[in-house]
Amino acid sequence: MTGQLTLQSATLKPWHTLGFDVKAKGVVEVFSEVDIHQILAFAKQYDLPVLPLGEGSNTIFSSDFAGIVMRVCLKGRRVEQGNDGQLVVYGAAGENWHSFVRWTIDQGASGLENLSLIPGTVGASPIQNIGAYGVEVKDVIDWVRYIDIASGEVIQLKASDCAFAYRDSIFKQQLRDQIVITEVAFRLSSNFTPNLSYIGLQDSHAKTALQLSDYIVKVREAKLPDPQHLGNVGSFFKNPIISEDHYQVLKENFPNLVAYFVGGGCWKLAAGWLIDQCGFKGIRKGKVGVYKHQALVLVHYGEGHVEDLLSLAWDIQQQVWLRFSVRMEIEPRIYPQ
């Protein structure tokens, strides 16, 4: 734990990638489970809510936070040999996600390469069930270790008990705001079998996990803004999932509709395409806007207000609904809610 925590208003501007100047009652960094228990005891004494935060790359502060923001900085990573080429890889919650992915590749472990360059931390990855290029992190998680905020109990939850779904999990639903993730274990492989199911990855001609990771990094850099230079939280909306009947109606009216069959009589629509069709791609409204290379990304140019970004998001939701009868769900977590 760095310094002495005091109940003094602190800006959250440096601690979330949108960079809005919102405040919290206090901000503290924790480097161990002991630190976490101390902060939880302090918060309980003053009857304050606690918000664990990684790199803030998937968080929107809609207003000041009337509690303590706990920046989870736990470090540590290790790998153990399993059976039949399986490797169990452990990552502390505060490890940078992309650095962790590249480290696993250096260790001869494959399975995370499709998730290269996703902003955030290891501890945040199961909350959102991060996914990209045909892979979701739930596919390789073994278990998640966390501390219950109310009781202080340390719990290890198997992946099968995490209620993983598309950009969703038990940590985003039933356990939202109730736990602090401290470590995640992954089941990876020493045998590289490339997942090239996503359209376009076949062009990578990757023969190693590193080559596939490098290719995905280039693709992401070409179409997504670096949050260190332009405030954003990556994909702002989930790709909507609709019924077969709804899909057929849209396909008839919009022959160029971008959609993917996901089974169970459902189709996943490309949210970026929907937004683009409504004329929002590249639009700027004051200090916020929609990224010129990817309509799914809303951006903050600096010195703006979060209300402006949420107003723009609302406009997008309204227009997509009016044109396509599709509800657009915001992907990042919003605090307070």
Would you list the DSSP string of 40-105?
HHHHHHTT--EEEESSSTTEEESS-EEEEEEEE----EEEEE-STTEEEEEEETTSBHHHHHHHHH
Mean pLDDT computed over every residue of the chain: 95
pLDDT for position 9:
83
pLDDT for position 1:
64
Please check whether residue 6 is in contact with residue 26, taking contact to mean a CB–CB distance below 8 angstroms.
Answer: yes
CA distance 235 to 238: 7
Residues annotated catalytic, as ranges: 167, 235, 331
Spatial CB neighbours of 251, under 8 Å, sequence gap ≥ 6? 257, 259
Question: Does residue 2 or residue 65 have the better pLDDT?
Answer: 65
Please, what are the domains in the chain? 10-72 (3.30.43.10), 77-223 (3.30.465.10), 231-335 (3.90.78.10)
pLDDT of 2 > 80? The answer is: no
Phi/psi region, residue 323 (left: phi>0; alpha: psi -120 to 50; beta: rest), is: alpha
Please check whether residue 60 is in contact with residue 334, taking contact to mean a CB–CB distance below 8 angstroms.
Answer: yes
pLDDT band at 6 (very low <50, low <70, confident <90, very high): low
Structure tokens at 239: 């790709």
Percent of the chain with pLDDT over 90: 93
Once rounded to an integer, what is the mean pLDDT over residues 122-134?
Answer: 96
CA distance 149 to 191: 39
The strand pair at 266-269 and 241-243 is best described as antiparallel
DSSP string, 195-225: ---STTGGGG---SHHHHHHHHHHHHHHHS-
